[in-house]
Structures are given as C-alpha cells and as structure tokens.
C-alpha cells in the first residue's frame, strides 16, 4: 500500500514537472509571437524605436531557451522518462531551438526595420510583406496551438501553410528583382527587404518544424523530410480517423 502510494506520488510530481515545462515552452512561444508581430509592425509602420526594442528584447528569448533547456536536462537526469514522456521532452528540446531561431529572425527584422525607417517607404511593397508576415505569424500561432492541444490535424494544417509561404517568398523576390532592374537606386533598400522576406520564409520553416515535432510527440513518428501527403496517409491508415489525443501519458 505504501509503495503504491509513493509511486503514485512520484508520477504525479513528474506530471506536474512535465506540465510546467510545457507551459514554459508555450509562454516562450507567446513571447516569440509577440516579438515577430512587433517586428513586422515596426517595418510596416516605419517605427524605428519599436524595431530597436524588438532587437534589444531578443536576449529574453535566449534566457528562456537556456532555462527550459536546463529544466529538461534535469528531468532527463532525475526522472529518466520513457516512451511518451521521453518523446515530450525530446520534442520540447527541439521546439525551443526552433523558437529561439524564430526569435533571432525577428531580431533581424526589427534591426532592419529600424534602419529602413529613416528612408522613404514605398507603399505597395510593404503590403506584400505585411501579408506574408501575417501568414507566417498565423503559422507560428497555429503550430503553438497544436502543441498546446496535442492536435495532430491542426499541426498538419499548419505545416501545409509552408508551401504558401514559399510561393509568396518567390513572388516578392521576383518583384524586388524587377524593381532593382528598373531603378538601380532602389537596390540598397531592395536588398534589405530581401533579407526581411528571407527571414520570414525561414520563420515559416521553423514553424513547420514545430508542427512536425507535435506529430512526433503524439504518434512517435518522425516525419521530417517526408512529403506531407504521405504523412497524412500514413497517419490515417495507422490510426482511426479523428484520433488526435495522445494515447499514452
């Protein structure tokens, strides 16, 4: 009786630990989302001080990554989790790396935004970037929502958005090239903008990675470097439709 009670107690404490780390990851995600949105606002509205403050705040993302990483190591060392729990920890460690990279890209956008704010702003070009930024932030948001809900369908849907981001990236790139050929004076600004678009595209890739970790965490399937259609087929064949909650844990 006593030992059963003790093991119950330990597993409850372990669950609490796991849940706390998961919440910390999502809090970090929330901050990264905010950084991204502020960076895009700084660029579109030409707010140099906002851009600077985004770049200045990146250290907070790094601090969060370090603290979550340490906590994960501690859990691995002291609790030696297995199966589903181990997958959660592994997925968390990977997710925070991608979140930190998203933070870095946001910092880059903020920095470029503060530099571009002093220059004349072309009204039409930023609209495209604004739209791309919106798609990308939604992707990050949906990926984190899927992480919070352990929802495979939503994760797949978020990962699928990456194709749209890639297409938009190509389109804006072509547009920038046209501008540069038409008027060489815009080359400097167009190059800066290309950096921003590239950063947004990278953020889309990181968000896709996070969605993939969600699928790994729930089903234990590593779907990196696999086409999404194959993944969906495999998931639906192997599991009853509508199964979106983890069976273990």
* Interface positions with other proteins (CB under 8 A): 19, 22-23, 26-27, 29-31, 33-34, 37, 40-41, 134, 137-138, 141, 144-145, 148-149, 151, 244-245
Closest CB to other proteins among residues 144, 235: 144
> Nearer to other proteins by C-beta: 142 or 201?
142
**Residue 219 beta carbon to other proteins: minimum distance, rounded to whole angstroms:** 17
Shortest distance, position 226 Cβ to other proteins, whole Å: 27
Our CB check for other proteins shows the closer of 146 and 176 to be 146
d(CA 99, CA 60): 12
Torsion 32-35-39-40 (CA) sign: positive
CA angle, 19 then 56 then 51, to 5° = 110
Instruction: Give me the half-sphere count of Cα atoms (radius 13 Å) on the Cβ side of residue 223.
Output: 27
Q: How far is the CB of 143 from other proteins (least distance, A)?
A: 12
> CB of 242: closest distance to other proteins in angstroms?
11
Residue whose tokens read 């851009």: 51
DSSP assignment string, 183-233: -GGGHHHHHHHHHHHHHHHHHHHHHHHHHHHHHHHHH----TTS-HHHHHH
Task: Give me the least distance between CB of 89 and other proteins, in Å please.
Answer: 17
Q: Which of 44/90 has CB closer to other proteins?
A: 44
Alpha helices per DSSP H over the chain? 2-45, 48-56, 58-79, 83-116, 123-149, 152-182, 187-219, 228-238
Rounded CA-CA distance 177/142 in Å is 32
Neighbouring residues of 102: CB distance < 8 A, sequence distance ≥ 6: 32, 36, 140, 203, 206, 207
Q: Which is nearer to other proteins, 144 or 172 (CB)?
A: 144
Min dist CB 99 to other proteins, Å, is 11
Residue placing its CB nearer to other proteins in the complex, 90 or 148:
148
């Amino acid at each position: 009786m006593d030992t059963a009670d003790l093991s119950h107690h330990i597993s409850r404490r372990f669950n609490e630990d796991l849940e706390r780390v998961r919440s910390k990851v999502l809090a970090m995600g929330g901050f990264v989302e905010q950084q991204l949105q502020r960076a895009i606002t700084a660029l579109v509205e030409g707010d140099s001080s906002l851009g600077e403050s985004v770049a200045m705040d990146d250290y907070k993302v790094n601090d969060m990554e370090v603290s979550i990483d340490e906590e994960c190591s501690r859990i691995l060392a002291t609790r030696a989790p297995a199966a589903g729990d181990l997958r959660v920890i592994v997925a968390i460690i990977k997710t925070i790396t991608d979140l930190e990279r998203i933070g870095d890209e946001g910092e880059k956008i903020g920095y470029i935004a503060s530099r571009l704010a002093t220059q004349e702003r072309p009204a039409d070009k930023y609209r495209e970037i604004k739209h791309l930024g919106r798609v990308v932030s939604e992707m990050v948001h949906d990926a984190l929502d899927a992480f919070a809900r352990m929802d495979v369908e939503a994760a797949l849907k978020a990962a699928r958005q990456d194709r749209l981001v890639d297409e938009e990236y190509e389109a804006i790139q072509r547009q920038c090239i046209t501008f540069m050929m038409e008027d060489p004076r815009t080359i400097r600004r167009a190059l800066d903008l290309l950096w921003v678009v590239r950063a947004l595209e990278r953020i889309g890739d990181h968000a896709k990675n996070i969605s993939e970790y969600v699928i790994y965490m729930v089903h234990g399937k590593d779907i990196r470097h696999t086409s999404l259609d194959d993944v969906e087929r495999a998931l639906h064949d192997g599991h009853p439709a509508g199964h979106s909650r983890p069976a273990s844990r």
